[in-house]
Each structure stands twice: as C-alpha cells, then as structure tokens.
Structure 1
Amino acid sequence: MQTDVYSAVTFIQIVVLCVLGIVLLSFRIRSEDKTFNLRLARGLLALSYFMLALPAIIEYFFDGGFNLMWVEIFTPPGSAIQSMFFAITFLTILQPALITRNQILLHLAVVLGAIILYLVAAFNVQNYKWVIHIGVAAYFCLLFIYTRYFIKKYQVSLRRLEEYYDEDEQGRLKWVKISFFAALSLGIIASGSAYFPFRIYVCFVVTYILFYSWFAIRFINFLARSDFYIAATAYEPEHLTPEIIIESDPVKEKKLENSLKQWVLDEGYKKGDISTEEVARLLETDLPFFRNYFHNHMPCDFRTWRNELRIKKAQELIADHPESSLNQIAQEVGFITKSNFYLYFKKTTGQSPADYRDQIAAKK
C-alpha cells in the first residue's frame, strides 16, 4: 500500500513540475533590453522546476537507483543552486530594471565555482562527510545572505512603488514576501526530507507541489503586468524628491486649480496604476510644481486627496447600488487592492464598507 501511494505521489510530482516548467518557458516575454532580467529569471525558475523533478524521475523510472554517498554529496549543492535560482527570481520581481545582468552572471559564476570546489573535495577526501558538513554550513550561510538581501530590496522596491504611484502598495507585494519565506522554509525542510517518516514525507511533497504550482501562477501573473514594476523601479529617484524649491506662479497655479476641478468632474481619480507624474502631465504641468501646489494650497498631499475622492465616490455607489459587490466597487473607484479600499474607507468614514452598506439599508 505504501509503495503504491509513494509511486503515485512521485509520478504526480514529476508531471506537475515538468508541466509547470514547460508553461513557464512557453510564456512569451517581448525581447527588449529592459526585459532581459525577466527572461533570465523565467528561464532559471523553469530550470529549477526541472531540477526538482529530476530526483523524482530517477526514483520513479529507475526503481530508486540512488547511491547513498552521491545523494549525501549532491544534496547541499543542489539545494544551493535551487536557492540561487529562486533568489534571483525574487530579486527580479522586486527590481526588474535595477538588477544588472553582470551582477546576476557574476553571482552565478561565484556560486557555481564554489560548488565545483566542493564536489572536487568531496570525491577526493577519504572522510567525505566532513566536506558535506562544510557544504551544509555554507548552504545555510547562503540562505542567511539571501534573506538579508531580500528584506533590504523588498523595502526599497516598496518605497519606489509607493513614491512613483502615490499609492499604498504593500498589498500588491505581500505575495512576494509570503512566497520568499515559504520557499525558504520548504528549502530548509527539503534538505532533511529523505529522513522523514513515510506519511510526513508524503504530506511534505503534496505541500510543496501545491506551493510551486501557486508560485508559478503568481509569477506568470507578474510577468503579464511587469511594465507596472519596471516603470517604477527604472525611474530615477531624484525626480521623485519633493524638496525642490519652486517659485510661485499665480497664473500656473490658477490653471492647475481649474485643471484639477475638471479632472475631478471627469472622475480621473478612478484610474488606477497611473503614476503621479502621469497625472501631472495630464494636467499640463510638471511633477515638482504639482507636488509643490498640493503642499502649499491643498489641505493634504495628493495621495490622501485622491483616496478621499475615491471613498466619497464609493459611498455614492454603495448607496445607489447596494447589490453590487464591495470588491467590484473598490476596483471601479480606482483601488487596485481590496485591502487598501477597506483600510481607507474605515479611516475616512469610521466604519467598514459592509457596515456602511448595512447602515444605508437600515435607513431605507
């Protein structure tokens, strides 16, 4: 019975991982200089899926024909390569336009060079287990470095997105953080999975199949909307700084005031995924003057002001169309994530959207 279950789980593992790898490779990314990192990350991620399937293929088709010594020796470098491929993928998601190909290729060369030295030592030292211990220690050091670097770049990427779009973007990047630490945990657990009891091992395999399937889908969704991230990360930060001295110009200020009134009448605030610079350009001004105007002539900054307009419109839609879903209303008024909508709605009105709808219904 256990043999049949193990064979079935192994076969499913092979099929799912290989199919996901093929799907990743077949997803088309336009060939441009700015998409090189995305194409490289896609290829490395697909390769990591095939690498994950390789031991299962050997196990399934060659009746577990593993040499224990080889398994012990190749586990640390295999785990290190997997971690490296995933780390590059995550960094590309966070900063698709800032991680250079030279940085990626140099890191690949360093890690692969260290792995070659490790393998040479492991196969030429009589007590190879000492080399394995060193390899495992180096693997965990690599994980520590990747984790610190990821946390740092995550904060940088989040700040850039929020500066560029003048939106709270934590909800949009939350899946990246969850995925990173889930992959990190699974990688650590996988290094000792060969010693698990049968039932725990099967549960672990099912768990990581589900995770890698989910991650592949999220990564493809990211690729489909990569322009959103590239635009923000490629933007020069000095252009985003509001601490620029702008001379007062009553004529330009009056023109911008009228343009803002018309923009509100046209419900321009309902358009999401648009940078503040694009809004300023639509209003026929530049970003420094636009931000300076809000600083000197408006009660709050542009982000807060736009969100207040969105919440006001959402209140109208909830009152007029109580049968509409709140998520649909959130998207209609310009909120990209429902978490931001619920947060700002409660912050502005003092109650949740659902409570507000119930209150409107009770009055009727």
Structure 2
Amino acid sequence: MNHPFYEYSLCIALPLMIFFGVYFLLAPTPDRAIFDNYLRSRRIMGIAILLLAANYSMHLFFGVRFHNVNAAILMNLSTYFLSYWLFSSALTTLLDRFYITRRRLRTHLVLWLLFSILSAIVLLLLPDGAAQRIGLFVMAAWLIFYGLALARRLLRAYRRAVRLFDDTHSDHIGAYIRWLSVFTYWAVVFGIGCGALTFLPDRYVFLWVLSSVPFYIYLYCSYLNYLLFYEQVERALEEELPTESGSDTADSTDTPENGPLPVYSDLAAKLEEWITSDGYLLPGLTIKELSDTLHTNRTYLSGYIKTTYELSFRDWITDLRLEYAKRSMLLRPEQNIAEIAKISGFMSPSHFTRIFKVRTGISPARWRRIQAENTPIP
C-alpha cells in the first residue's frame, strides 16, 4: 500500500533530527568548568533525539508499520518510554546538576525494560481481541502517566528555581529559563499526541511525523539561545541552592558573622536609609549583597521583606525602581526611555517597558505624556 505523505514527512523530519542530535552531541561549548552541566544536558538530549531518529529510520527504510503493525507499535511505545526519561533528565539536570544518580538511572532502565517486555507480550503473544485491547490500554495509560510524572517533576524543579531567583535576585533570572516550562508543556501535548497517533489509521500517521518538526526546531533554538544566559543562571544556582538545602551554615544560624541579628525596628530603619540613598538602583543587586550592606542575615532579611511588603525580593526591588523611573521621567524630560531604564537599574529598555506595561497598563512614553498633559503650568 502506498503512503506518499507518510514517506515525505519522514524525509523532512529525519535529516533535521539527525542534524540536531549530532549537533547536541558534538558541538563545542566554552572551555570552562561551569559549562560542564550544560554540555551533559545537551548530550543527553542529543542521545534522545538520535534514538527517535533511529525509530523514524526504521519506519522509513523498512516500512515496519506496513509489514507488522503490532511490531511497529511495540517499537514506538518502547522508544517513547525511554525518550521520555532522556528528555526529562536532560532538562531537569539544567536546574539540578545532582538529579542524575546511578540509583535513579538503574530504576528507570529497569522500568523501561519491564515496560518493553510487557508491551511485547501484549502485542506479539496475546491473540487479537478484547484481552489485547485491554493490555494495550493499560500500556498506553502507563506510558502517559509515566510521562506526566516526569513532566511534573521537571515543572516542580522549574518553579522552585524561579521562586529562588525571585527571592534572591533583583534581575529577572527566571526569564532565562522560561523556555523550560514552555517546552515541557509542549512536550506533554506532543508526547500524548504522538502516542495517540500511533494507534490511528495509516493515512493519518504523517501528522505524527510532521508535528515533530517545529517541536525539535524550538528545542534546538532554545538550547542555542540558553547558552548565552546559562552562566548567569548557573552561578545564581550555585550561590543560592546550598542555602535551600541547609548546607549554608552562615545563613541558617540565628547569628550572622557581623554580630547579633537586629530587631525588625532596627532593620526597618536601616532599610529606610538604604532606600533613601537609592541603593536599589545597583544593577544585578542580590539579597546577599543587600544583607552584607545592612550587616544582617539574608534569610532574616528575606523573611522581613516578605512579611512587611508581601512581595518577593525581585518584585520589591522592581517596585522601587519603577517609582524611581516615574519620578525621573517627570523630573528629567530631556532623557529618553532607554536612558531612564538604565539609570533606574533595569536589565534593558525592553524589560523596563514590559514591566511598566504590566504594572500600569500603558507604556512609559504614554504615561509620561499623560502626566505632562495633566501637570498644571505654574
């Protein structure tokens, strides 16, 4: 039976996947130790993509699906199961370099072998009929729940990292890893969709193949782009993650190196003085730098900010910078928006404009015009 759309779609997807997989495995990265984890993640992702490319090759060159449908479904299910683990491991290790352990690797390999063996029994040994359909349903449900569990773990690591960055850095470090969240949700939809398309009639299978093209292009571009910001994210994780686990003894104690902790009233006075001196305008400000300036403990300081202002450190600093920017736009009409963003401590003019729109509903330029029109002439 001829299926030209299916074959053409494989001819489009397969070269791209081979290129992406080989690139992820062999492309160079900066020769510094801090990039070792990025390289590890990218290589795992390269193995996952080449594994799927091998699956595509079997379909294209041997026509497995049209010679033995059950064997093709078995190959797909086994490949997807292992790919789910590789994909999630590659991304999770970007947020937790200690995620991949020998014990976890053994556990998931055993699960994969068990899943593949049981799938083979259902597809190749059980006769066609109700028993096989029930078995296929069970294996498909297992695959879906396994993928969802891995995705949930990755999203939990992502949200934990974002909260950490928001509580410790004035810059929006979380924006650099947002692609991990977007890709995870896309991977869940794509993975479940591919699993469903595996059981559809042959004339629809090309949709399964073509849907992978934008999926892998996005992944490739995301890894390339993330290389530009990886060092900043990794340094932030190296500085702060030990504090979460309790290994940072300096901040887990009740008494900092510089003496006893001040009471809230003393801290409030120091913070007010620091705000008056416009200390929040320092680019790249972290809560550690502020706690050192105030001679206090950063865990204590973080708790005070959350209790008093009901904001994360980043949101609190952002609000201070926005108010400063508003005053500057009124007092310095000769300065453009880019200059205002720079002196106000924002990462970039585009970041300033985006945050300003979110908080006020209008652009900085429009806000300035409205304020100027409503200001009475003396």
Aligned to 1:191, the other structure's residue is in SS state helix
Question: What residue in structure 1 maps to residue 157 of structure 2?
Answer: 153
Aligned equivalents of 2:122 and 2:318: distance in 1?
A: 60
Q: Deviations over 1:64-98 (max 9, x none)?
A: 675323102222211111211122123223x3234
Aligned to 1:97, the other structure's residue is in SS state coil
Question: What residue in structure 2 maps to residue 41 of structure 1?
Answer: 41
Instruction: Please state how far the C-alpha of 1:46 moved relative to its aligned partner.
Output: 0.9
Where does structure 2 lack aligned partners over 5 or more consecutive residues? none
Aligned equivalents of 1:170 and 1:277: distance in 2?
A: 18
Aligned equivalents of 1:344 and 1:217: distance in 2?
A: 28
Give me the TM-score of the superposition, normalised by structure 1.
0.73
Aligned equivalents of 1:201 and 1:292: distance in 2?
A: 53
Aligned equivalents of 1:215 and 1:137: distance in 2?
A: 26
Residue 4 to residue 133, structure 1, CA distance change in 2 (3 Å): closer
Letter in 2 for 1:183: A
Correspondent of 1:226 among 226, 230, 244:
230
Question: What residue in structure 1 maps to residue 112 of structure 2?
Answer: 112
Please say if residues 77 and 115 of structure 1, whose CA atoms lie closer than 8 Å, have aligned partners that are also in contact.
Answer: yes
Question: What residue in structure 2 maps to residue 359 of structure 1?
Answer: 370
Where does structure 1 lack aligned partners over 5 or more consecutive residues? none
Q: Counterparts in 2 of 1:269-288, with a 5 A limit?
A: 269-272=281-284, 274-281=285-292, 283=293, 285=295, 287-288=297-298
Instruction: Please state how far the C-alpha of 1:116 moved relative to its aligned partner.
Output: 5.1
Residue 7 to residue 207, structure 1, CA distance change in 2 (3 Å): same
Question: What residue in structure 1 maps to residue 9 of structure 2?
Answer: 9
When structure 1 is superposed on structure 2, of 208-217 and 119-128 the one drifting more is 119-128
- Identical counterparts, % of pairs: 13
Aligned equivalents of 2:303 and 2:156: distance in 1?
A: 33
Question: What residue in structure 2 maps to residue 311 of structure 1?
Answer: 322
Instruction: Please state how far the C-alpha of 1:49 moved relative to its aligned partner.
Output: 1.4
Letter in 2 for 1:235: P
Instruction: Please state how far the C-alpha of 1:178 moved relative to its aligned partner.
Output: 2.1
Q: Deviations over 1:22-57 (max 9, x none)?
A: 22221426574x766543322221122112222333
Please say if residues 122 and 136 of structure 2, whose CA atoms lie closer than 8 Å, have aligned partners that are also in contact.
Answer: yes
Question: What residue in structure 1 maps to residue 77 of structure 2?
Answer: 76
Instruction: Please state how far the C-alpha of 1:103 moved relative to its aligned partner.
Output: 5.1
Aligned to 1:236, the other structure's residue is in SS state helix
Report the count of equivalent residues: 350
Aligned equivalents of 1:92 and 1:82: distance in 2?
A: 15
Aligned equivalents of 1:323 and 1:337: distance in 2?
A: 10
Alignment RMSD: 4.6
Letter in 2 for 1:39: L
Residue 241 to residue 66, structure 1, CA distance change in 2 (3 Å): farther
Aligned equivalents of 2:46 and 2:342: distance in 1?
A: 35
Q: Deviations over 1:142-163 (max 9, x none)?
A: 1232244334333322222222
Residue 321 to residue 62, structure 1, CA distance change in 2 (3 Å): farther
Instruction: Please state how far the C-alpha of 1:307 moved relative to its aligned partner.
Output: 2.1
Instruction: Please state how far the C-alpha of 1:268 moved relative to its aligned partner.
Output: 6.5
Instruction: Please state how far the C-alpha of 1:183 moved relative to its aligned partner.
Output: 0.5
Question: What residue in structure 1 maps to residue 243 of structure 2?
Answer: 236
Residue 163 to residue 248, structure 1, CA distance change in 2 (3 Å): closer
Instruction: Please state how far the C-alpha of 1:173 moved relative to its aligned partner.
Output: 4.3
Aligned to 2:125, the other structure's residue is in SS state coil
Question: What residue in structure 2 maps to residue 193 of structure 1?
Answer: 197
Correspondent of 1:213 among 207, 211, 217:
217
Aligned to 1:127, the other structure's residue is in SS state coil
Residue 323 to residue 275, structure 1, CA distance change in 2 (3 Å): closer
Please say if residues 244 and 288 of structure 1, whose CA atoms lie closer than 8 Å, have aligned partners that are also in contact.
Answer: no
Question: What residue in structure 2 maps to residue 180 of structure 1?
Answer: 184
Give me the TM-score of the superposition, normalised by structure 2.
0.71
